[in-house]
Amino acid sequence: MTAVPAKQVSNEKVLLGDEAVATGALDAGISAAYSYPGTPATEIAEYLVRHAKKHGRPHASWTTNEKTAYEEALGASMVGRRALVSMKHVGLNVAADPFMNSAIIAINGGLVVAVADDPGMHSSQNEQDTRYFADFAHTICLEPATQQQAYDMTREGFDLSERFQVPVVIRLVTRLAHSRAVVQVKPPRPENDLRKAPDPSKWILLPGNARKGWQALLDRLPDIREYTETCVHNVLTLNADDRTLGVITTGTARNYFLECAGQLKTMPSHLHVGAYPLPVQKIRKLLDHVERVLVIEEGYPLLEGQLRGLLPEIKPIAGKLSGELPLAGELNTDLVRKALGLSERTATVLTTLPLPGRPPQLCSGCPHQDSFKALKDVLKGFDHSLVSADIGCYTLGALPPYEAIESCVCMGASVGLAKGAAEAGFHPAVAVIGDSTFLHSGVTPLMDAVAADANMTLLILDNGTVGMTGGQPTMLSSSGIEKLVLGTGVKPEHFKVIEAHPKKTEQMAEVIRKEIDHRGLSVIIMVRECLETARRSKKKVAS
Amino acid sequence: MKRDIIIAGVGGQGVLSISTIIAASALKEGLHVKQAEVHGMAQRGGAVVSDLRLSDSPIHSSTIPRGCADVILSMEPLESLRYLEYLSPEGLVVASESPVINISDYPELESVLAAIKNLPRSVLVDADGLARKAGSPRASNMVMVGAVSGSLPLRQDTLESFITEAFAGKGEKMVQTNIDAFRAGRALSN
Ligand code: SF4
């Protein structure tokens, strides 16, 4: 190997897919960025928040949840500035209301929503595919295959958003979000001037206006389709000498196909799709050219499903719906190899030893351990009990040695679940939620519980941080959360705050026991800072 | 020329720092690089892996296909066995012999080490011991970088310059400790 001397050009950066999105947004001249942390999207906003701390502008901040993040970004767009909002896939469920409606209001300053899907569920509750959301809203979705595209598409997304007056979705997947490669960046563009949306009626979605807005969006669709039909992200390469196989790839699926393509006898005709709505003409051209087609997409079979339609197939289509590729989980080169009919590679196998899994676990000394110990001690005294829980490090309390919780559905669900169970007649019903998740989506069901004086006990594990995603700040301090809880009308005599400490588990258990015995709503906050966050802030003080 | 390297360990062992130092060195030497990382939930004391791909021609996938890894570099013996299906038949395993036993069903250490020794090409490294000798048990990941460096198409001074850069913020002594750790590992690989 001859090592070429390094290219010392400053327009090259080594970036995670997430960071490429952030850099693309910065260079597109955003004025604001908002996000709620969630793997695999967290590093987008982390990058921008760090940048804002260092340089002052553009504004970048964490928010209470994805819905507030989206609405704040929309506010920036309303006054003509560009804004980025980023979140994990399930975050868009929370932000679905503003997202769907923002497609109708005639976006002013460019609005890009970067959503990171998690096929394979590395760190998620499901593997929903955000391309369906973009389709649902009738807007543009760009799907990068590389870090370079993540940068380019994000930049371009802002132009498209202003041109077509729609929010533009950038759909990432874990493998792109969390892998690094070299990205060539271009000179940055300045921020937009302040320019309030010229026609406020477009932003007032009264039925009369909304009907007009919806129609206007439908009228813009042919132009949007014309764009995706001709843009550089949807690339059709026909092999004139071989008409047997056509391959359609979307997003990162292209990488796996290209890994294998060199080993095929002939290069199949290939359509790569990186921009939606689907380029129907290009798809037709490919299908006209070949005998059969293989569709490789990361996520749900969106394109494949549309291609099959309801009527009998015109040509044989292979993909996830016909079993050549699995419907569940993440794609990889080996699965694509098989679908292309290439032989499996020899692998080393371990026969001598059973290999135990090594699941993630709570840090040793984590305050949640004390809370779980106290709770389990109390519940031993009951024949049956229900502990609904939520999303965060404490979800690991489902695993041995704790096995202390019985649910994890979506952000904030623990509170409503306990209330519903209590009202169905179950006792004791205990909900366990972290401070950040409580602020994200637990306050609203708490108001329901207060109004009904539901016979349940809510444990808020207050560690002063968003622990699981790396210690982002919460929106309210511990004292703020106390005031908030009392402000919802929780009875002060059934509101307790206690330190979560290994030496205090008996006292904690005593408090929990008493409040479970109370027939009505109780809220107990167990406080101690996350060890990781404490370590990080100490480091910061020291340096 | 390509080198597909799987870097394995347990959350908190510095797998990402290893990956970052090798990746930066490869870029400096003009190679194409793709590096896949694990973030989020798995970092909490669970199995952690980073796929690092170096090549003199463009790389498509950021993950390494089955049977293609040239090297598995593992901060922990059991973890080095977890990804064997990705190792090429001629591939090399370089593993630290110090276990992290944070699960109840961890197999007999002797049988884990025996399984590694039984592989066609493997090296067990007393990473913790060499790191302690170099000045800090926390430098064991740099011992491992050293131990694998002989199998990488990278120059020693390039790797050392990025180790220096990575620890510069922690003071000169820390830099020297990590460089010494790297050299102790490298001595094994020569
Ligand atoms: S990161 Fe914090 S909250 Fe999460 S397990 Fe560790 S100490 Fe507990």
The number of folded domains in chain A is 3
Q: What is the largest CA-CA distance in chain B?
A: 45
What is the count of residue pairs from A and B with beta carbons less than 8 Å apart?
Answer: 163
Helices and strands per DSSP (H, E), number in chain A: 20, 19
Establish if A344 belongs to a structural domain.
no
- How far is residue A66's CA from residue A84's CA, in Å, rounded to a whole number? 12
Confirm or reject: Cβ of B44 under 6 Å from ligand 1: yes
What is the DSSP track for A119-173? Answer: TT-SSSS----HHHHHHHHT--EE--SSHHHHHHHHHHHHHHHHHHTS-EEEEEE
The single residue listed with the structure tokens 């290999």 is: A355
Q: How far is the CA of A166 from the centre of ligand 1 (A)?
A: 40
Give the nearest chain B residue to A262 (CA atoms). Answer: B60
Any ligand 1 atom below 6 A from CB of A393:
yes
Please list, residue by residue across A232-251, b when 16 or more beta carbons sit within 10 angstroms of its beta carbon and e when fewer do. ebbebebbeebeebbbbbbb
pLDDT at A408: 97
* Cα B125 to Cα B147: distance, rounded to the nearest angstrom: 8
Last residue of a domain, one of A339, A357, A392: A339
Tell me: pLDDT of B83 over 90.
yes
Atom of ligand 1 nearest to the CA of A396: 5
pLDDT digits (tens, 9 = 90+) for B56-67: 999 999 999 999
Q: Are residues A196 and A239 in the same domain?
A: no
Q: What residues make up the domain containing A107?
A: 12-230
Q: What local confidence, expressed as pLDDT, does residue A4 receive?
A: 41
Question: Is the CATH code 3.40.920.10 the one for domain B2-189?
Answer: yes
Residue A151 and residue A81 in one domain: yes
| Cα A531 to averaged position of ligand 1 atoms, centre (Å) | 6
Q: Are residues A217 and A240 in the same domain?
A: no
Residue A374 and residue A492 in one domain: yes
The residue contributing the CA closest to ligand 1 atom 6 is A363
Calpha distance B10→B77 (Å, rounded): 10
Residues in chain B: 190
Stretches where chain A sits below pLDDT 50 are 1-9
Q: Are A524 and A482 contained in the same domain?
A: yes
Does the beta carbon of A528 sit less than 6 angstroms from any atom of ligand 1? no
Q: What is the pTM of this model?
A: 0.95
| Six-digit token string for A90 | 């399930």
Centre of ligand 1 from the C-alpha of residue B12, in Å: 13
Q: Which among A515, A473, A484 is positioned nearest to A498, based on CA atoms?
A: A515
- In DSSP terms, A276 is beta-bridged to A141
Query: In A207-331, which residue ranges form alpha helices assigned H by DSSP?
Result: 207-230, 253-261, 280-289, 302-308
Q: In terms of Cα–Cα distance, which of A410, A477, A469, A478 is closest to A445? A: A410
In short, whether A530's Cβ falls inside 6 Å of ligand 1 is: yes
Asked if residue A224 and residue A244 are part of one domain, the reply reads: no
Nearest by CB to B41, from A175, A256, A360: name it.
Answer: A360
- Does the beta carbon of A500 sit less than 6 angstroms from any atom of ligand 1? no
pLDDT in tens, B11-58: 889 899 999 999 999 999 999 999 998 876 656 789 999 999 999 999
What are the phi and psi torsion angles at A486 (to 5°)?
-65, -35
For residue A507, give the amino acid letter.
Q
- pLDDT of res. A352: 75
Domain annotation covers residue A3: no
- Reported as a single tens digit per residue, the pLDDT across B119-164 is 999 999 999 999 999 999 999 999 999 999 999 999 999 999 999 9
Q: Are residues A203 and A58 in the same domain?
A: yes
> Cα of A541 to ligand 1 centre, how many Å?
20
ipTM of the complex in this document: 0.93
Annotated domain spans of chain B: 2-189
> A454 lies in a domain?
yes
Tokens of A21: 């999105």
Among the three residues A230, A247, A273, which one is the final residue of a domain in this structure?
A230
* Residue B175 in this model has a pLDDT that exceeds 80: yes
pLDDT at residue A320 in the model: 98
Specify the pLDDT at position A7: 43
CA distance A406 to chain B (A): 19
Q: Please report residues of B whose CB lies closer than 8 A to that of A463.
A: none
Could you tell me the two tokens for A11?
């327009």
Q: Do A289 and A147 fall within a single domain?
A: no
Distances (CA, A) of A332 to A255, B8, B61: 9, 19, 8
- DSSP one-letter string for chain B: -EEEEEEEEETTS-HHHHHHHHHHHHHHTT-EEEEE---GGGGTTSEEEEEEEEESS----SSPPTT-EEEEEESSHHHHHHTGGGEEEEEEEEEES-----STTPPPHHHHHHHHHTSSSEEEE-HHHHHHHHT-GGGHHHHHHHHHHTTSSS-HHHHHHHHHHHHGGG-HHHHHHHHHHHHHHHHHH-
Residue A78 resides in a domain: yes
Q: Hey, is A359 helix, strand or coil? A: coil
How distant is the alpha carbon of residue A153 from its chain centre? 18
Q: Given the structure tokens 């502990």, which residue do they identify? A: A387
DSSP secondary structure letter of residue A485 = H
- For residue A175, what are its two tokens? 């493998």
Asked which of A319, A339, A359 is the last residue of a domain, the reply is A339
